[in-house]
Structure 1
Amino acid sequence: MAQKYFEGVAHANLYAKFRPSPPQKLGNQIISYLKKKYTGDLSLCLDVGCGNGQSSKIFSPYFQKVIATDASPAQVKVAKTMNHPPNINFLVSLAEELPVKDGSAQIVTASQACHWFDLATFFKETKRVLCPGGIVALSGYTFPKFLHPTKANDLQSAFNLVYHLISLHC
């Protein structure tokens, strides 16, 4: 569970400016899978760890309402200032304390966020809030693969080392 990361508004603004957005194709594929499991109306999507709402936006065309939550008040504050569809509602909330009624959501999503969660508690919460046939969809980035004709292995090794060193301090 993240308590001290992404807290300041200045950092949240930088995050909003430079974080890559998930492709709409990802949302389409997730919704296609959901529709195989759930045949009712798509009334509620719960996007957990939403940051500035980039992933919330890809689900908004499908649902009557998207509740987008983040543990960081600064992230939610910045998200509310951005140009988002009107059916997205941003709230400050922990992933382990989802702010919706039992059995009310057709999907719980988290894009590049679940590594911050207490996963055992998060999954208990998803079980509580999902309706029968509802799904959890977790997504994230892949690591880059270097394609340089002569230096690919050296570049990949350097990247892996830097990532490892950074991960030791997170």
Structure 2
Amino acid sequence: MVNKTPKNNEALCENSIVENVWDNSVPVEKSSYLHEDVEYINLDRFKHDKRKLTMLDLFCGAGGFAVGCSWAGFQSVFGVDHLKPAMNTWMLNHPNSIGCLGNIKKVDPLYVKRLLEERGVEKIHLITGGVPCQGFSLANRKHNDFDERNFLFLEYMRFVPSC
């Protein structure tokens, strides 16, 4: 985990890890921070602690679920998100895990299982994730029952059989 000190925060900003993410003139879905393709990160630095229960962190964002679960004794072995600044933060907090930057609909659960098995992970004990809620949130004045994000929870079900 990254120590949260003013000096570290300043260094992160200077190294462009933290930037001005949102340009209000660009629609969110057109943002260059969103990645539709799939890129696997950290394959060569993965380290599995066999004493810990393992988890997948779908829609991982910056990693709140994974941090909480690590306090409970889990190791997040894989995280996926399509927002680059969120994935950068997740990777800082989980430097020995595999990250996946991209659209979860394009991630093959069997490929993820194979990646993890090749690195000694025999079983996934928990699947977590923070599914986007903008489409059905009452706080969003433009919420829409047919927003495609409302159905992303189904992506969990694609991963369950391979775990």
**The two structures share one fold, judged by TM-score above 0.5:** no
The TM-score normalised by the length of structure 1 is 0.41
Higher helix share: 1
Higher strand share: 1
The TM-score normalised by the length of structure 2 is 0.42
